[in-house]
Structure 1
Amino acid sequence: MLLCSVAAMPASAQSADEVEPADEAAEEGSGDVIIVTANRREESLQEVSGVVQALDSEQLRQDGIVELRQLQVAVPGLSIANQEGNVEIFIRGVGSSNNTELGDPGAAPHLNGTYIPRPRGLGLMFYDLERVEVNKGPQGTLYGRNALAGTLNIITAKPRLGEFGGYAQAEVANRSSYGAEGALNIPLGDTLAVRAAGYYINRDYGFRNVSTGEQASRLKPAGLEENYAGRLSLLWEPDDRLSLSIVGDYGMETGTGYPGANIFGAVTATGLRPDQLDLKDVVYRGMQGDMENELWGIQGNLAYDFGTFTAELSGSYRSVDFYQANASSEGIDYPGRDLDGFQYDNFSNNFWQTESRSQVYEARLSANDDQRFRWNLGGFYFKEDQAVGYLALADRGYCCYSGTEFTMPDVNGESFAFFGDGIYDFTDRLRFFAGLRYTEEKKSRYGIGGNWALTLGGEDFACCFGTRLGTEGFRPNLLDRPNFDVSAIDTLQGRAQFLLEGIRNPGLRDTLIDQIGAIANGSNPNGTCVDRPDIDNGFVDCPEGFEGGFSFVELTIPDQQIGQSKFDFIDWRAGLEFDLSPDNMLYAKVSTGHKSGGFNDSFNGSTIPETFSPEELVVYEVGSRNSFDAFGRNAIFNLTGFYYDYSDQVFQDLTCINLDEAQTPPVCNGYSLVNRNIGASRIYGAESELRLKLPANYALDLNAAYLDTKITEGVVADARAQDFDAGGESPLVSLVGNRLPLASKMNLSARLSQWLDIGAGRFDWQALLNYRSSFFLTQFNEDDIVFLDGTSQSALEAGFPDRQNGFVTLNLGAGYTIGNFRLEAWASNFLNEEVSQKALVGSSLNIRFLNDARTYGLRGRITF
């Protein structure tokens, strides 16, 4: 499948510098050849037995696709969301929303064909591109690790030998956004060239702060970004056999954090559905949202052509340093809400930190294309060292809970694989292809995880005093803690010291250090009683005696977290291709893919299963690829049908973490979300593509996808009905018969374009329309909720609607090129549709992550 220039130039010849409209090539009689690398070799798109969609840099700009998430408007069946900096990619309803250190992506992101394990900041690579490829369906044999749903491959512009040139562009957009981009290609003799590229954007995603509190009203909303990046590429080809490519890049994302909005309170208060509310009007409070993400990496590729085969070595090192303090909110505004009477002095918040250092190496031998048997043999090695931190604080918490921390200074992942794949020509029309890949993986981690809790007694042993934590200026230690070993901490003083070690900068009005500092330093085992109006729950007073401390003190700290897992699995593919004619091909194939397994959090006395196994997908696919003549011009029609067998599917499930077996019957005193292989699904559907070049310089691209998904196994605890009076227990609910999240039954994209010679230059315009039918945001599919006591509510009444209505988005673009200068105007989401792209649900929680609001702007570009 393709949504690209109607008459694109060969990828090897086309560069990001060029401003000539793609349709000019058609006028001059160039062939309609799109080069892709879906099978790990360059080949025409029409020769690929599968569904690949490719968009070149010109097409992306003209269609108003200015950042990664907007790619889904051009690729049916693709969904991309961003949760707290984690880019989540789903293809045909398959992917993964577990973006912690325990999880892995289900659709594998790549940069120049090299796997990226942590796709934080993936959008920073979205500049000076050659093209973007989306390969649908499992790619376990050729691409391997976590290519369960498919792959998304960002391919950057390469240096060009013997040519000096480049481009520079600047743009302005609504909501005070602006940016710049440029590249310079420098030849160093006939065999060596370098390319330097840079990018800057200052962007606003359209969220609004509607708070009326004096301090809260000054908070900047989530979704403000200021990002910059640079890339340096080198290409050396001393002869027609040897090639060396090195690419280094650096990027920095800064801003107020990625936008999300909790709609639970608005829905329960009004009974309105999300599409009847303005989800971008957010009630912010507490501290300013803040995000900083620094990324850099280097990758190299060395290839030598031995005549009958080519040997290739590639390696990559990537570094990610991410920190975010959420833009805290009390949900969204709604009719009748009293914003003036709201308690804005609440600094409850979430803090995230991720450090990742990953290495990817691959050695590959491949037969050259002029042989009857074309094969690939290779080995793959991956290693990642992570350190992650998370802290959720409950400021103004009255009694017994002040936060939850999961901080892991040592998280390791390692994988190696061996693969072989080939295609054999039985005749000049019939071909057979097959592949096999063996993978072995292991993971481990060490750290802490659990609650911060302070139970502080007052007069007559009354319970309990509150604690302020996280007020102005607060910053946690997270990965900078001096100690992560809690196994030997068995005294009140040791627990107090450990809690205080979690604080780098105390908040201006925090009380925690004042309350337990004396316990930590040993001067008073009862602490220091602080009785202040903002922590007064109305009936607890400081006790007399106890040397100014509390009448009793209980402190809870996180537990030790140690986990490991090891798995191996085999992926394979097999299929046939048959040419009905030089312009018509039929194919049928079976392919498999796996997503990595892992392990769960561990707690003392827990009944949580230690590990979860890799997910597996088997796909059966048939299709045809056809070129034909229409209106005296070359046209394309492709059709594909597929069936997915999805097994060992992982669902997150609430499970007992503290079972008291001393009671009869045993009583559970706490529950936590864990990963379980308790699901299975089947998926079937079809995709079609039609590309026409019409009279009067018009062109029409149509891509359509039909998808039917059904969960066939899966009984989980219903997190929407979690009952904390019962220790956190939730009723069980069957998911059988439900649709997979983010899977629209119908998805259509249509692009109409035209070019005209006007004056001394050329004018072109295009309109990209995308339709998605309704889809569900969670596996619960808006089913009614049946509580532990047998009562029930509709999902809407309980605050958990999760159906996104069908919608249409429209992107517009127009440009005028004269000589080396081009002026472009674009509009993304011109109809200003407000769409939920991801949801998190839990007790009193229904957080939506949304698309960008309407964006329009003007761009000037000059090439030299």
Structure 2
Amino acid sequence: MRHFLLAGTALTLAIGGPALAQVTETPAPAPTPSRVAPAAAAASTGDAASQGLTDIVITAQRRVESSQRAGVAIDVVSGTQVLAQGITQPSDLNRIVPSLQVQDAGGANKTFFLRGVGNFTVNGYSDPAIAVNYDGVYLGRPTSTSGLFYDLERLEVLKGPQGTLYGRNATAGAINILPARPKLGEVSGFVDASYGNYNAVNVQGAVNVPIGSIAAVRVSGNVVSRDGYLTDGTSDEKTQAVRAQVLVEPSPDLKLRLAGDYSHSGGKGVGSSYDGAYALNFQTGAYNFVPSGLGAQVGLFDPKAQAYRQTLFLGVSGRTADPLANNVYLDNKFYGVNGELNWDTGAGTLTVIPAYRKADLNYNFGAAAFIGLIREKDEQYSLEARFNGKRIGPFDYVVGGYYFDEKVDGNYTFAQQALNAYQFYTSSTKSWAVFGRVVANVTDRFRLIGGVRYTDDHKDFNGRADVFVVVCTQRNAFGVPSCPTTPLLPVGTNYNALQPPFIVPPAGQARPIGATGAILSRVATIVDATLPSSQVTWRGAAEFDIAPRSLGYASVERGYRSGGFSLAAGYETYKPEFITAYTVGVKNRFLDNKLQLNVEAFWWDYTDQQIGRIGVDANGNQGQFSQNIGQSTIKGVEANVEVLPLPDTLLTGEVQYLDSKYKSFTYNQPAQATPPLTGCPTTLTAGVYTINCAGFPGFNAPKWTLTLAAQQTVRVGGFKVVGSVDTQFRTKRYVEAEFLPEELVHSTWTTNVQLGFGPDGGHWQITGFIRNLENDRIIVNTPTVSVANALVATTSAPRTFGVRAGYTF
């Protein structure tokens, strides 16, 4: 209730919120906002308001159209909002896209969840459930999504399968990151800088220069530097990025654009804190969670956390843990070159998009309470060609083809002291597809839409994982492993560097570790496999113009995501997953374009759903792997309202109800010295545990999500003050696959406020902001460290505040 009162009071005090505004947002020197129609792009809030809510132009369906006239589930964020909200990395999108959840999974890894569907993609050989497309180019690796959020035209978040019009098939949805493009005939640009607590500096800018009358160049860049949110300096951000584009239009029918970009991510990377540990009663087999007593702000490398770590018992090794080696860092480089040709042939427009992208990853992370060393090189080539034909009789159509070629070369070490896993692998993916969509304009108000896509995927994988475990062979009087003097495994990129008293055994054997009573065992998993797959995906839909400003729509569509590989015994390969999605909705404008009300209901059915998790493989080794867990159902309703009660006042609200449940989620684990650590029911038969998590909700799937926002402009002489407030409420949700009580995040509120000042229609502005007014560090990820039965927590940013100033020309 206090947040509803806050929103109302703030409105009275001329403080409002830009989160979903369709007129003008908090003043910012960004490119022309996509939420303002071109004719009104330079209008003030009052001018735009006099025309009512303006349209958001999107290209999500491979054509230029208003989002209010597109019968698809989509959220749109303008480049102005990205700048005003301080969005610099994917996890920041949690603040402005209610249905989206992005987790930092350690190092450069990001995991994306939409409407409770996604996957924990933390390696280079599993595909994400949500496709991220940058400037029309599919990004094969989630690690490559950093360093892109500057000088943008807009972000489009599409919900549900994207199995007909987009590059790679995606079951949960797609995120389109669209940079601002060069403009012919004008010298323009902007510079924007902000400074806040944690020594946060964010500087970005762009310059647009014409070359004669037929060409233009746009160069933009971004520098972000911020201290860590945790006491050990982790969860910091150090990013530098640059982008250059050339646009040539030799004739009204021909446009050619070339672009190149580079970004670097540095610093220490994402950090976490110890939430506690599960103490095992070896006689009863029951676990008892004991909180660490450390705050969420205490990083793993803080002396207090290191002292706590040395109390954690590594059951398999019969001793307590050593301090973590404090050598975490990021040194990741990303490169990209792409082009776009648009040729109006008279019969339609031909679009060709060739692209090349490369990533060089070199980082050590410790957010999982062990040290991971990642050395990975990614390369991808892609080519898309599509023809958007002019209407033939009652039919509009799009046809096209797509080719994708990716190679990944990785060397991973997961150093957990009691267990070290060394992985070497190469993987390649070749995918091609043909697709088409036809719109039958049955009447001026009624349309039928059909789309189909044939995709052929061919994946090859060659990898080896060597897992070394320090195993105590002695027991004390209580039956507990006891080897207090045995050494633990050091951090390193290669097991050949192990020094005495460790003796490297052959695969499948063990060697004593001196006279400590412990042995060093080694198990190797080799995967040399090929996965061919071909699928047909489709979409059928109907749209009806209920009124000049009201659209009704319904659709059913089929999507799929190809299978893949894991370096884990018993889980070497997994099959494709499939989704059938049903959607019905209405989009409306009322009261002379002063009120917008959109409502959508959806039902998603998954089969052979893929889940990536940390678990125990068939050889009894802990690792990260993916598997098909069965079926799940996701159903819900979303409603969005925007209203202009006064010319300079904008109120918005969005609510999502989500009912997500696993119909089947069963996996096995071999019996060991300790039982499985899980919140799901388990049974033990013939030395194998069966864990059944059916009936639990999906990860990151709060039943209710509510966003309220308000924006108010007050004019004083030739100046204006623009204030904003937005607040978001999410009910409880699980954030990890074990469904432990401590992995259930309870209901949360997050509120942001801004106050800007500048000349009315002028070129400069200054804005003060506070984000996360409540100062709550909300848990977004809770990985378990099975060798120590510890639980660590990665949290969102604490309260941040600062000032931002910008100038446009």
* TM-score normalized by the length of structure 2: 0.83
Q: 1:516 to 1:708 in 2, by over 3 A?
A: closer
- Matched ranges for 1:486-565 at <5 A: 499-500=495-496, 503=497, 512-513=498-499, 537=516, 556=522, 558-565=524-531
Counting only pairs closer than 5 Å after superposition, residues 581-730 of structure 1 correspond to structure 2 as 581-601=547-567, 608=570, 610-629=572-591, 633-651=593-611, 657-658=618-619, 674-695=625-646, 697-717=648-668, 723=674
| One-letter amino acid of the structure 2 residue matched with residue 307 of structure 1 | G
CA distance in 2 between partners of 1:841 and 1:463 (Å) = 23
Question: Residue 803 of structure 2 aligns with which residue?
Answer: 858
Partner of 1:216: none
Cα distance, 1:518–1:158 mapped onto 2, change above 3 Å = closer
Q: Does 1:806 align with 2:806?
A: no
Which range is displaced more, 801-810 or 59-68?
A: 59-68
Partner of 1:573: 539
CA–CA distance in structure 1, aligned partners of residues 521 and 699 of structure 2: 40
634 and 624 in structure 1: CA distance in 2 versus 1, 3 angstrom threshold:
same
Q: Offset at 1:696?
A: 5.3
Q: Note the aligned Cα RMSD (angstroms).
A: 3.6
Q: Name structure 2 gaps, 5 residues minimum.
A: 1-17, 25-30, 281-286, 302-323, 474-481, 677-683
Match of 1:391 among 413, 433, 447: 413
1:298 aligns with 2:337: yes
- Displacement of 1:152 in angstroms is 0.8
Whole-angstrom distance in 1 between the partners of 2:797 and 2:624: 30
Aligned equivalent of 2:479: none
What CA distance in whole angstroms lies between the structure 1 residues aligned with 2:540 and 2:593?
A: 35
> 8 Å contact 1:32–1:634 — kept in the other structure?
no
Identify which range, 838-847 or 174-183, moves more after superposition.
838-847
Q: Does 1:233 align with 2:199?
A: no
Whether the aligned pair in 1 keeps the contact of 2:22 and 2:53 (CA below 8 Å) is no
TM, length-normalised to structure 1: 0.78
After superposition, the Cα gap between the structure-2 partners of 1:655 and 1:6, relative to the gap in structure 1 and judged at 3 Å, is: closer
Mapped partners of 1:581, 1:519: distance in 2: 75
Q: Which residue matches 1:380?
A: 402
Question: Bigger CA drift: 263-272 or 845-854?
Answer: 263-272
- 1:27: Cα distance to partner? 4.3
Task: Tell me the amino acid that sits aligned with residue 226 of structure 1.
Answer: K
Cα pair 2:348 2:389 within 8 Å, conserved: yes
Aligned residues: 734
| Cross-structure match for 1:404 | 421
Q: Match for 1:837: what amino acid?
A: V
The residue correspondences of 1:318-397 to structure 2 (distance < 5 A) are 318-327=357-366, 349-368=371-390, 372-395=394-417
After superposition, the C-alpha distances for 1:553-608 in whole angstroms (9 at most, x for unaligned) are 977474433222111111100011111211111111101211221133365xxxx2
Of 49, 58, 67, the match for 1:36: 58
Counterpart mapping for 1:113-124 below 5 A: 113-124=136-147
How far residue 848 of structure 1 moved from its aligned partner, in angstroms, is 2.5
Corresponding position of 1:183: 206
Cα distance in structure 2, aligned partners of 1:13 and 1:735: 43
**What's the secondary structure of 1:120's corresponding residue?**
helix
1:350 shift after superposition: 2.2
The answer for the alignment partner of 2:258 in structure 1 is 246
Q: Deviations over 1:74-106 (max 9, x none)?
A: 222210111121121111111111332331110
In 2, distance between residues paired with 1:828 and 1:243? 41
**Residue in structure 2 matched with residue 281 of structure 1 by the alignment:** 298
Amino acid at match of 1:353: R
CA distance in structure 1 between the partners assigned to 2:471 and 2:543 by the alignment: 70
- Are the equivalent residues in 2 in contact too, given 1:74–1:770 (CA < 8 A)? no
Equivalent position amino acid for 1:593 in 2: G
2:711 corresponds, among 743, 748, 753, to: 753
Name the structure 2 match of 1:137: 160
- Deviation string, structure 1 residues 727-769 (Cα, Å, up to 9, x no partner): 9976322222111110011111121001122233221111111
Q: Report the equivalent of 1:830.
A: 773
Q: Residues 656, 699 of structure 1: CA spacing in aligned structure 2 closer, same or farther, 3 A cutoff? A: closer
Query: 1:91 aligned to 107, 114, 131, which one?
Result: 114
Larger CA deviation: 253-262 vs 22-31: 22-31
Give 3-state SS (helix, strand or coil) of 1:703's partner.
strand
Q: In 2 relative to 1, CA 720–144 (structure 1 residues): closer, same or farther, beyond 3 Å?
A: farther
Give the structure 2 partner of residue 418 of structure 1: 434
Task: Write the letter of the residue equivalent to 2:598.
Answer: N
Preserved CA contact (<8 Å) 1:564 1:598: no
Aligned in 2, Cα 1:161/1:260: closer, same or farther, shift over 3 Å? same
- Cα drift, residue 841 of structure 1: 3.4
Distance 2:492 2:46 in 1: 56
Q: Determine the C-alpha separation between the residues in 1 that align with 2:714 and 2:57.
A: 27
**Alpha-carbon distance between aligned partners in 1 of 2:300 and 2:520, rounded to the nearest angstrom:** 34
Q: Does 1:101 align with 2:124?
A: yes
Code of the aligned partner of 2:356: Y
| Alpha carbons 1:574, 1:591 under 8 Å: kept | yes
1: CA distance, partners of 2:197 / 2:671: 39
Deviates more, 1:851-860 or 1:19-28: 19-28
Q: 1:425 to 1:715 in 2, by over 3 A?
A: same
* CA displacement, residues 664-693 of structure 1 (integer Å, 9 cap, x when unaligned): xxxxx6576643323201111111111111
* Distance change in 2, residues 1:724/1:273 (3 Å): closer
For the 8 Å contact 1:447–1:561, the answer to whether it is kept is yes
The change in CA–CA distance for 1:154 and 1:250 in structure 2 (over 3 A counts) is same
More displaced stretch, 142-151 vs 19-28: 19-28
CA apart distance, 1:440: 1.1
Contact 1:234 1:247 in 2 (8 A): yes
3-state DSSP class of the match of 1:233?
strand
Q: Secondary structure at the match of 2:594?
A: strand
C-alpha separation between the residues in 1 aligned to 2:522 and 2:539?
Answer: 52
Change (3 A) 1:22 1:92: farther
In the alignment, the residues of structure 2 paired with residue 370 and residue 806 of structure 1 have an alpha-carbon distance, to the nearest angstrom, of 53
CA contact (8 A) 1:292 1:323 kept: yes
* 2:127 partner SS: coil
Tell me the CA shift for residue 110 of structure 1. 0.8
Q: Which amino acid aligns with 1:809?
A: T
Write the distance in 2 (CA, Å) between the matches of 1:252 and 1:427. 52
Is the 2:467–2:621 Cα contact (8 Å) retained in structure 1?
A: no
Q: Distance in 1 between matches of 2:131 and 2:85?
A: 25
Q: Percent identity?
A: 26
Contact 1:561 1:601 (8 Å CA) reproduced: yes
Name the counterpart of 2:313: none
Cα deviation, residue 639, structure 1:
0.7
| One-letter amino acid matched to 1:767 | V
Deviation track 1:244-282 (CA, whole Å, cap 9, x = no partner) reads: 1111110000011212334232899995779x9622213
Counterpart amino acid of residue 759 in structure 1? G
Pair 1:81 & 2:103 matched:
yes
In the alignment, the residues of structure 1 paired with residue 520 and residue 197 of structure 2 have an alpha-carbon distance, to the nearest angstrom, of: 54
Mapping for residues 124-203 of structure 1, pairs under 5 Å: 124-203=147-226
Cα distance in structure 1, aligned partners of 2:646 and 2:179: 34
**SS of match in other structure, 1:46:** helix
Would you say the 8 A contact 1:655–1:674 is kept in 2?
no
Contact (CA 8 Å) 1:11, 1:34: kept in 2 or not? Answer: no
Partner of 1:281, secondary structure, is coil
In 2, Cα distance between equivalents of 1:736 and 1:601: 26
**Taking CA–CA contacts closer than 8 Å with sequence separation of 6 or more, which of the two structures ends up with the larger relative contact order?**
2
CA distance in 1, matches of 2:348, 2:626: 44
